[in-house]
A = this chain, B = another copy of it.
Amino acid sequence: MIMLHRIKYCLLILMMSSVSLLAEKSVVDRSAELKRPHHREVVRIPDLPGYLTLKCDFHIHTMFSDGVVWPAVRVREAWEEGLDAIAITDHIENQPSKAFVGGDHNSSYETALPEAREKNLILIRAGEISRKMPPGHLNALFLSDVNKLDLAEPEDALEAALAQGAFVFWNHPGWEAQQPDDTVMFPVHERWIREKKIHGMEVFNEKEWYPVVLQWVLDHDLAVIGNSDIHDVTEHFYDVRFGHRPMTLVFAGERSEAAIREALFAGRCAAWWGDEVAGKEEYLRELFNRAVEFGKPYFVDEDGDAWLEVRNSSDLTFVIEPLEELSDPGKVTIYPDGIQLLRFEAEKLPQTIPCRVTNFHTGMNRDLVVRITLDRVSPGR
């Protein structure tokens, strides 16, 4: 009982001409109708002052560990979804396909690289140190030789990564399989943070989010990370047609691997997951300010309410809840590429109103608060 027949209708039209074609050639090619077209999607996230906002996924598996696809597929998926950079992070210790799949820990990177070059995608050599808790799982990015991390002791593997200049983050710190009771930090994590051996943590992983981890990251001035941890085909797992995979937004000086590395060590990043964004207040505020624009009042109605438009020119979603009373519904969702109408008492304008952006998280129990400034009503309205 679904009514999406438009597509089929197009097919039918084309089909009608097939009989006449037969006389001329003996192959009817319907690539256009039967093959899905592919292109790189433009994902609109505002750049920050002095920085490009790069869309990155730093946690991805292939059949070289326990993923189900060939590495080049990861590049093509990321390209279509509009990402700028990915790191394939196959498990160093977990390779269930080993009976059939050879190569070494660098193979997934190396087989994906030609595709990445063609597609203009930044591919970061990386690996996942996958141990029982503690310390759990750690991703090491910007490696020069992943094989050197294949060591018995977790800390030796970590040191091997750091020796290569790696950026290291703690994966899914609240993953139930490793944290059955509560999400806690172990002494080893505390020590490694103190020793600057861990540089970030995932606050979003796959379908989970860990508010307490966001607080740890902010308290220790680390990088806020969000990733897909995809093992399946991304489109099988996420609805990438109408949504997006979890990712890290990196505010980088340029579109290069070096700039991503610099930004991550500087903690200049945020995480995006479903409609939610988590990160340092200053970055989230800037994303809001650059994506959302409040227009001038254009009309005053009979009740004395002034009407104005709020416009979101990004692919982010913003849910805004005024902390003071307005005339209009308390909570407003401003959809991607969308405009909503707001009403305020005309007499009170101009006015500055503090609002909570309830889907922008700046701490464990803290959301972004913005102050929106409303113009006075022009005479004549």
Chain A interfacial positions (CB closer than 8 Å to B): 1-16, 18-19, 22-23, 25-44, 63-64, 68-70, 72-73, 76, 80, 82, 97, 99-103, 107, 111, 117-120, 174, 176, 179, 182-183, 206-213, 232-233, 235-244, 246, 273-276, 298-299, 301, 307, 309, 311-313, 315, 317, 319, 333-341, 358-359, 364-365, 367
A15-B319, A35-B207 are known; give 16 further A-B pairs, CB within 8 A. Answer: A1-B43, A3-B240, A7-B7, A12-B32, A12-B359, A26-B210, A26-B211, A26-B213, A37-B333, A40-B309, A41-B337, A42-B313, A68-B72, A99-B102, A100-B101, A100-B102
Among B26, B44, B211, B246, point to the contact of A1 (Cβ < 8 A). Answer: B44
A10 CB contacts on chain B under 8 angstroms: 7, 10-11, 13-14, 32-33
Contact of B13 with A37 in the complex, beta carbons under 8 Å = no
Contact of A298 with B6 in the complex, beta carbons under 8 Å = no
Among B1, B37, B183, B242, point to the contact of A41 (Cβ < 8 A). Answer: B1
Contact of A40 with B338 in the complex, beta carbons under 8 Å = yes
Contact of B274 with A11 in the complex, beta carbons under 8 Å = yes
Among B33, B99, B275, point to the contact of A15 (Cβ < 8 A). Answer: B275
State the oligomeric state as a number of copies. 4
Contact of B337 with A119 in the complex, beta carbons under 8 Å = no
Contact of B27 with A183 in the complex, beta carbons under 8 Å = yes
Contact of A34 with B102 in the complex, beta carbons under 8 Å = no
Contact of A30 with B333 in the complex, beta carbons under 8 Å = no
A1 CB contacts on chain B under 8 angstroms: 41-44, 82, 244, 315, 336-337
Name A245's closest neighbour in chain B (CB-CB). B34
The residue in A1, A6, A102, A243 that gathers the most chain B C-beta atoms within 10 A of its C-beta is: A1
Contact of A299 with B117 in the complex, beta carbons under 8 Å = yes
List 30 A–B pairs whose Cβ atoms lie within 8 Å, in order of A's numbering. Answer: A1-B315, A1-B337, A2-B242, A6-B36, A6-B37, A10-B14, A10-B32, A12-B32, A15-B319, A16-B358, A22-B212, A25-B182, A26-B182, A26-B210, A26-B212, A27-B183, A37-B335, A39-B338, A41-B338, A42-B313, A63-B70, A68-B73, A69-B233, A99-B103, A100-B101, A100-B103, A101-B102, A102-B102, A120-B299, A233-B235
Are A341 and B208 CB-contacts (below 8 A) given A15-B319, A41-B3?
no
Contact of B39 with A340 in the complex, beta carbons under 8 Å = yes
State in angstroms the CA–CA spacing of A174 and B28 once bound together: 9
Contact of A359 with B15 in the complex, beta carbons under 8 Å = yes
**What is the distance, in angstroms, from A74's C-beta to the closest C-beta of chain B?**
10
Contact of B339 with A42 in the complex, beta carbons under 8 Å = yes
State in angstroms the CA–CA spacing of A298 and B319 once bound together: 39
**What is the distance, in angstroms, from A180's C-beta to the closest C-beta of chain B?**
11
Name A102's closest neighbour in chain B (CB-CB). B100
A107 CB contacts on chain B under 8 angstroms: 100
State in angstroms the CA–CA spacing of A111 and B275 once bound together: 38
Are A13 and B39 CB-contacts (below 8 A) given A211-B22, A299-B120?
no
A26 CB contacts on chain B under 8 angstroms: 174, 182-183, 210-213
Name A176's closest neighbour in chain B (CB-CB). B27
Contact of A34 with B274 in the complex, beta carbons under 8 Å = yes
A41 CB contacts on chain B under 8 angstroms: 1-3, 337-339
The residue in A64, A103, A233 that gathers the most chain B C-beta atoms within 10 A of its C-beta is: A233
